[in-house]
């Protein structure tokens, strides 16, 4: 019997969101097929790969990644090198040092970093806060203000601070709002609903629906993304049609598989390889589950994932 292909057509599609300005923009989403189902329909905008840099890179990044940027690299140098990485579509600046339970850098100091990075590159930029809800309310407001006109993605508005972050990032300074929820389709939807009720347009929202490193309760992530994409396409749920971005590196490089030294774990092989493997495995799984963008750190991972996307789309 001949194979009779029946394309799975949906009468709904993922919202397109454009980040960046000028001729260096990128668009996430826009497809009306399941991830990489190019045989069902065209995927207009291939998933994107971002390179994460951090104001705390010197302390927190793995030695192999630090080596790429070189000893004593300034934030501007790092940004340029990140943007130049093979396969990179955008740069993600993680303001890790703002965390009150960590370095607790003042907002002004972080804004100077943001400006330095933004001035050094012209590719699309994503700024990630320090993940402390209260500090981020203030910090992300200032980030959005400092980058007026750059059309950056600011992450993240969460249930606890979506009003502050949504109002400043999405309304006052018209940037793209990252809406972050913790691996739960209903919470993801609820956050999108209340953020749009605030006045932020759906085409200015990108979701981070939560993530984990493979092997760390990761099946919840797959199931959540799967169901969100299912609801968006098969049920035309407009409040779940925002594209998904997934910060991978900050999860995977913290696992023991990536961080244990070779002296401690000789049977596991070189630490660098393990870190890259964790990052690639997680990112690949995120993308096939429905992420429209992933944020990585290691040049090898960025190159590999970019190649995978290129081969499949």
The minimum distance between CB 202 and other proteins, in angstroms, equals 12
β-pairing, 17-19 vs 26-28, is antiparallel
Pick from 215, 222, 19: nearest CA to 125: 19
Q: Does 152 bind other proteins (CB under 8 A)?
A: no
- Nearest Cα to 41, choosing from 18, 10, 14, 2? 10
SS3 content of the chain, % helix, strand, coil (to 5): 45, 15, 40
Residue 265: partners with Cβ closer than 8 Å, 6 or more residues away: none
Decide if residue 171 touches other proteins (CB under 8 A): yes
The distance of closest approach from Cβ of residue 223 to other proteins in the complex, given in angstroms and rounded to an integer, is 7
Question: What binding mask, one character per residue, do residues 192-211 give for other proteins by CB under 8 A, x or -?
Answer: -xx--xxx-x----------
Per-residue tokens: 196: 């749009």
Residue 223 is a binding residue for other proteins (CB under 8 A)? yes
Residues 111-150 contacting other proteins, CB under 8 A = 141, 145
Interaction between residue 217 and other proteins (CB under 8 A): no
Residue 8 interacts with other proteins (CB under 8 A)? no
Q: Does 236 bind other proteins (CB under 8 A)?
A: no
Q: What angle do CA 301, 304, 307 make, to 5 degrees?
A: 145
The pair of structure tokens assigned to 75 is 């934030």
Which of these segments, 114-122, 158-166, 271-279, 301-309, binds other proteins (CB under 8 A)? 158-166
Question: Where does this chain bind other proteins (CB under 8 A)?
Answer: 141, 145, 163-164, 166-168, 171-173, 183-187, 190, 193-194, 197-199, 201, 223, 227, 230-231, 234-235
């Amino acid at each position: 019997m001949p194979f009779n292909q029946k394309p799975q057509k949906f009468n709904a599609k993922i919202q397109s969101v454009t980040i960046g300005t000028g001729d260096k923009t990128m668009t996430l989403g826009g497809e009306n097929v399941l991830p990489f189902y190019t045989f069902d329909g065209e995927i207009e905008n291939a998933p994107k790969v971002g390179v994460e840099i951090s104001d705390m890179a010197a302390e927190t990044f793995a030695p192999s990644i630090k080596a790429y940027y070189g000893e004593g690299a300034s934030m501007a140098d790092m940004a340029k090198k990140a943007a130049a990485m093979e396969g990179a579509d955008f740069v993600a600046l993680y303001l890790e040092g703002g965390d009150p339970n960590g370095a607790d850098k003042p907002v002004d100091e972080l804004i100077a970093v943001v400006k330095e990075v933004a001035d050094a590159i012209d590719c699309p930029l994503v700024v990630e806060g320090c993940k402390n809800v209260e500090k981020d309310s203030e910090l992300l407001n200032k980030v959005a203000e400092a980058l007026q006109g750059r059309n950056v993605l600011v992450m993240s508005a969460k249930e606890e601070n979506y009003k502050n972050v949504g109002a400043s990032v999405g309304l006052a300074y018209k940037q793209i709002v990252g809406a972050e929820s913790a691996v739960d389709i209903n919470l993801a939807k609820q956050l999108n609903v209340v953020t749009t009720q605030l006045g932020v347009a759906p085409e200015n929202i990108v979701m981070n629906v939560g993530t984990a490193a493979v092997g760390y309760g990761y099946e919840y992530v797959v199931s959540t993304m799967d169901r969100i994409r299912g609801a968006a396409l098969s049920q035309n749920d407009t409040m779940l049609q925002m594209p998904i971005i997934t910060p991978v590196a900050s999860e995977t490089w913290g696992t023991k598989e990536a961080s244990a030294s070779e002296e401690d774990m000789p049977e596991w092989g070189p630490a660098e390889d393990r870190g890259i493997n964790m990052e690639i495995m997680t990112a690949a799984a995120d993308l096939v589950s429905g992420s429209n963008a992933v944020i990585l750190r290691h040049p090898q991972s960025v190159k590999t994932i970019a190649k995978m996307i290129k081969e499949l789309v």
